[in-house]
Amino acid sequence: MKFAVVTFPGSNCDKDMYEAVKNILKADADLLWYEHANLENYDAILLPGGFSYGDYLRTGAIAATSNVMQQVKQHAAQGKPVLGVCNGFQILTESGLLPGALLRNKNLSFMCHQETLIVENNQTIFTTTYTKGERIQLPVAHGEGNYYCDEVTLRELTANEQIVFTYQNNPNGSVANIAGIVNKQGNVLGMMPHPERAVEQLLGSVDGLRLFQSLIHNWREIYVANA
C-alpha cells in the first residue's frame, strides 16, 4: 500500500505525517509538492495540517482550488482512501469532498493541547482498531476547528453514521461536538485532531497510530486478500 502526503505552500504538518507513515508504520510513502504531484499510482492520499496559503480568504479555500485537488477528487470517486487532518480537513470541506465548514474557534484563539475523543463509528476503514464508544487521546492544534453544518446536514451525518469522532469536552464550539466525519461512501475522512502526532509513547499517546494501522489492515483486506 502506497501513501501520498501532499504538501501545499504553508503546510507544516506534512513531514510529521510522512514520518509517521514511513518510519513508524514502515509503510511505503512519498512526500509530494502539490504542483508536481501525480497521484495515479498511490493507494491513499494524506492531506496534512498547516496554514496552506497563509489561511488567506478562508482556511483551505485556496488549496481547494489547486489542480491536485482534481486528482484527489478522482481518487476519492474511485472509492480509494483520503485522510485530511486539520488544514487537510479544512481543504476537504472547501473542495466539497466533505460537507460543512470549519469556523474560528468559539474563543477566537488558537489552541494546542491533548483532547479526549469518543470513537462514534468504528466501522470505517480508518477506525476498526478502536471499539465503539472508546475514549482516545489525540492532540488538537488549530484556530479554526469549529465544525459547522446546518440541521439538515447534521441529520444526514447522524443517520448515515458519518460522525466518526466527537470531543468529550468540546474545545472549539463544534456542532454536535464533531471532531471528525467521513463522506457517505466512507472513504474520505476529515478530522481536526492530529493522529500523526500520536504515534509513539514519547509523544504522549499512540492512539493515532491505530488509525493508520486500521487503514492499512482494511486496505489489504479489500485490495490484497480478495484479489
Binding site for ligand GLN (CB under 6 A): 13, 49-51, 55, 59, 86-87, 110, 141-145
Residue with cell 493522529: 195
Minimum CB separation of residue 76 from ligand GLN in Å reads 20
Closest CB to ligand GLN among 126 and 147? 147
Closest CB to ligand GLN among 1 and 63? 63
Task: Please classify residue 36 by burial: count the beta carbons closer than 10 Å to its beta carbon, then call 0-12 exposed, 13-18 middle and 19+ buried.
Answer: exposed
The residue from 13, 75, 149, 194 that is catalytic is 194
Active site residue 75: no
Q: Which residue's Cβ lies closest to ligand GLN? A: 49
CA atoms within 13 A on the CB side of 100: 32
Closest CB to ligand GLN among 14 and 120? 14
DSSP state, residue 200: B
Minimum CB separation of residue 52 from ligand GLN in Å reads 7
DSSP string, 113-178: EEEEEEE----STTTTTS-TT-EEEEEEEESS-EEE--HHHHHHHHHTT-EEEEESS-SS--GGGE
**CB crowding 84-93: b at 16 or more within 10 Å, else e:** bbbbbbbbbb
Backbone angles phi, psi at 20, to 5 degrees: -60, -45
Active site residue 112: no
Closest CB to ligand GLN among 62 and 118? 62
With vertex at residue 151, the alpha carbon angle to CA 188 and CA 94, rounded to the nearest 5 degrees, is 40
Active site residue 13: no
Minimum CB separation of residue 12 from ligand GLN in Å reads 7
Minimum CB separation of residue 79 from ligand GLN in Å reads 26
Q: Residue 216 contacts by C-beta under 8 Å, 6 or more apart in sequence?
A: 1, 25, 27
Q: How far is it, in rounded angstroms, from Cα 103 to Cα 147?
A: 6
Query: How far is residue 85 from each of residues 66, 155, 161, 226, measured CA to CA in Å?
Result: 18, 23, 19, 29
Minimum CB separation of residue 141 from ligand GLN in Å reads 4
The residue from 13, 86, 144, 149 that is catalytic is 86
Closest CB to ligand GLN among 1 and 17? 17
Would you please indicate which residues are annotated as catalytic (active-site) residues? 86, 194, 196
